[in-house]
Amino acid sequence: MIKLRCVVEHITYQNEKNGWSVMKVKVKGYDNLVTLTGSLLDVPVGSVLLVDGDWRVDPKYGQQFVAQSWGEVMPATLYGIEKYLGSGLVKGIGPAYAKAIVSRFGLETIDVIENDIERLLEVPRLGKKRMEKIRDSWEKQKDIKEVMVFLQGYGVSTAFAAKIYRKYEKESIAKVKENPYQLADDIWGIGFNTADSIASKMGYEKNDPRRCRSGILYALNELAEDGHVYAEPNQLVEAATKLLDAEEAPVRQALATMIETKDVIADNDVIYLPPFYHAENGSAKRLQSLLADTSLFNSDIAAEPEAEYGVKSGGIVYDEVQQAAIQKALDSKVMVLTGGPGTGKTTTTQGIIAAFKARHMSILLAAPTGRAAKRMTEATGMEAKTIHRLLEYNPMDGYKRNNENPLEGDALIVDECSMIDILLFYNLMKAIPSNMRLILVGDIDQLPSVGAGNVLRDIIDSQQISVVRLTRIFRQAQSSRIVMNAHAINAGQFPNIKNGLDTDFFFIGQEDADDIVKLIIGLVRDRLPKKYGYPAKEIQVLTPM
């Protein structure tokens, strides 16, 4: 770690939310200005800084000094004081007033503002109103510096210190002293581990109730990261006790208190974080209410005979199961269409769309991801949106489509439903009006959701929703080794890994990590483009973590 004393000459960039900054500073012994980067909250031009950090060469911007921690030193020269005050740091003092104040008080200027600010009224044309403005601004800057020094004393990074100050302002020190674990609840990016590190330096015991509470919430969130909507009490206590290296009794007591205060919700002998509890129960109730409301639902609207599903325009002939799926979609308020790869889900979906169109119904199409929505658009010839776009989501306002501003249309078809987590599904259900049909298409053996919940599988297992399973692998799909191996793996059978010129599935055994890298580079750069005619930029490499 290197210590650098510098004067801020120019601010290139400053993020108001987290304080991350790029600035040019003057350092004694350097002919040119030095680039300083780091979380330097509200540091203005003219500031004299004492910075701990290290040199780094950025491949694009060259040599920089990266700040790990810093403190501000008051300027000691008349020029430095004038530049510091005139930088815009102190509201009410611009360059002209800075010059006049320094001219009046000289090297005592900082001491006057700090301890006897009413003497500023001695400066010509500086009135009481401006003096009060300067006092308020100076106090705020002093608060920031005190908070930064206090937090850095407990090992809090400047980036996190900036976030803490933005949240609590002048109450920051009191809030952290009162309960550092509250940081994990209130401030995005500060998790249990950071809060626990601060608390440990402040002398908190392992079995402290506040620590146990925060550890339980962290354990529940970790389980959610693994896909779980809830935890069993013993499972949760065991996970939290291990995480905290604490005794079991205080953890159980903390959990009991959290249930009483509704920090967590106990239902049917399991423990939920409130958002997941409300999402799961809300989704179930919305599905039940959608199924129950048939007042505006009519499956007997006559279709145009030439567009009926027996033989669709384009000559596609549907088998009995597919025809039954199309009819079930017409007869059901909510339906699930499921099946493995190559079983005709896309073709059946096209038949459902044709049957809906024949009845002059307005249809919405959606999928969880942009790639899935694009595939749906290509297969149907209709616009398919991501669920977030369909619900008009933005990070600032959330979902604009909801129970007060529902979707408009007669039917909604959602593809790749195995990838929908419980929170997203709940927001989708809130936006579906009672007169809309809902068709959920997906394969529970395909990609699971990134977030918590197993929505499609749970809906199928509930046996409350009409489900049509496609099991026949069509002839064109049988020629794909990828499709056949997927079914073999799902059936617990070892896949066919024989290589040959007539297959779309290859297995190349390789153990050494460096050789694997060379092999993949060779495949993408040379062998696959040469064999199949695809340029390297159209080849995707997927790797498990």
Higher pLDDT residue, 249 or 305? 249
The string of pLDDT tens digits covering residues 261-284 is 999 999 989 999 999 999 999 999
Residue 481's pLDDT band (cuts 50, 70, 90): confident
Q: Write the DSSP string, 391-430.
A: TTEETTTEES-SSSS---SSEEEE--GGG--HHHHHHHHH
In this prediction, residue 306 carries a pLDDT of 40
Which range, of 41-45, 237-241, 268-272, 456-460, averages the lowest pLDDT?
A: 41-45
Residue 231's pLDDT band (cuts 50, 70, 90): very high
The burial class, CB within 10 Å (0-12 / 13-18 / 19+), for 99 is middle
Higher pLDDT residue, 258 or 491? 258
Instruction: Return the SS3 of 13.
Output: strand
pLDDT of 298 over the 70 cut? no
Residue 410's pLDDT band (cuts 50, 70, 90): very high
pLDDT of 473 over the 90 cut? no
Interval 39-67 mean pLDDT: 85
Interval 507-529 mean pLDDT: 92
**Domain spanning 277-472: CATH superfamily:** P-loop containing nucleotide triphosphate hydrolases (3.40.50.300)
Q: Write the DSSP string, 25-76.
A: EEETT-SSPEEEEEE-TTPPTT-EEEEEEEEEEETTTEEEEEEEEEEEE---
Q: Measured between alpha carbons, how far is 326 from 411 in angstroms, rounded to an integer?
A: 13
Interval 368-397 mean pLDDT: 94
Higher pLDDT residue, 1 or 254? 254
Name, in order, each residue with C-beta under 8 angstroms of 392's C-beta and a sequence gap of 6 or more. Answer: 399, 400, 401
The amino acid at 446: Q
In this prediction, residue 341 carries a pLDDT of 82
Domain coordinates in residue numbering, the chain: 2-150, 175-274, 277-472, 508-545
The amino acid at 522: G
pLDDT of 294 over the 90 cut? no
Q: What is the DSSP letter of 353?
A: H
2-150 domain in CATH 2.40.50.140?
Answer: yes
CA dihedral (242, 246, 249, 251) positive or negative? negative
Interval 32-46 mean pLDDT: 83
Which of 114-118, 155-159, 310-314, 387-391 is predicted most confidently? Answer: 387-391
Q: Write the DSSP string, 272-316.
A: E-HHHHHHHHHHHHHHHHHHH--TT--S-PPPPGGG-SSB-TTS-
In this prediction, residue 271 carries a pLDDT of 97
The string of pLDDT tens digits covering residues 68-93 is 888 777 776 787 788 778 766 678 88
Beta carbons of 141 and 42 less than 8 angstroms apart: yes
pLDDT of 311 over the 50 cut? no
Token pair of 2 as six digits: 């290197």
Q: Measured between alpha carbons, how far is 485 from 478 in angstroms, rounded to an integer?
A: 10
Interval 444-460 mean pLDDT: 88
Average pLDDT, the chain: 87
pLDDT of 301 over the 70 cut? no
How many Cα atoms are found within 13 Å in the side-chain-facing hemisphere of 42?
21
Which range, of 55-64, 285-294, 372-381, 444-453, averages the lowest pLDDT?
A: 444-453
Higher pLDDT residue, 15 or 518? 518
pLDDT of 343 over the 90 cut? no
Interval 169-181 mean pLDDT: 88
The string of pLDDT tens digits covering residues 89-146 is 678 888 899 899 999 999 888 889 888 999 999 999 899 999 999 988 888 777 777 7
How many Cα atoms are found within 13 Å in the side-chain-facing hemisphere of 11?
20
Beta carbons of 228 and 274 less than 8 angstroms apart: no
In this prediction, residue 296 carries a pLDDT of 57
Rg (CA), the chain: 32
pLDDT of 382 over the 90 cut? yes
Name, in order, each residue with C-beta under 8 angstroms of 297's C-beta and a sequence gap of 6 or more. Answer: 333, 435, 437
Beta carbons of 47 and 84 less than 8 angstroms apart: yes
In this prediction, residue 307 carries a pLDDT of 44
How many Cα atoms are found within 13 Å in the side-chain-facing hemisphere of 358?
23
Which range, of 132-136, 309-313, 485-489, averages the lowest pLDDT?
A: 309-313
Interval 503-520 mean pLDDT: 90
Give the Å distances, CA to CA, from 533 to 246, 501, 538: 61, 15, 10
In this prediction, residue 475 carries a pLDDT of 58
Interval 513-536 mean pLDDT: 92
Q: What is the pTM of this model?
A: 0.70
Name, in order, each residue with C-beta under 8 angstroms of 68's C-beta and a sequence gap of 6 or more. Answer: 1, 38, 52, 53, 54, 157, 158
Q: Measured between alpha carbons, how far is 223 from 452 in angstroms, rounded to an integer?
A: 8
In this prediction, residue 313 carries a pLDDT of 43
> What are φ and ψ of residue 434, in 5° steps?
-65, -25
Other beta carbons within 10 angstroms of residue 86's beta carbon come to: 21
Q: What is the 3-state secondary structure (H, E, C) of 217-249?
A: HHHHHHHHHCCCCEECHHHHHHHHHHHHCCCHH
The CATH number given to 175-274 is: 1.10.10.2220
The string of pLDDT tens digits covering residues 195-227 is 998 898 888 999 999 999 999 999 999 999 999
Interval 479-503 mean pLDDT: 82
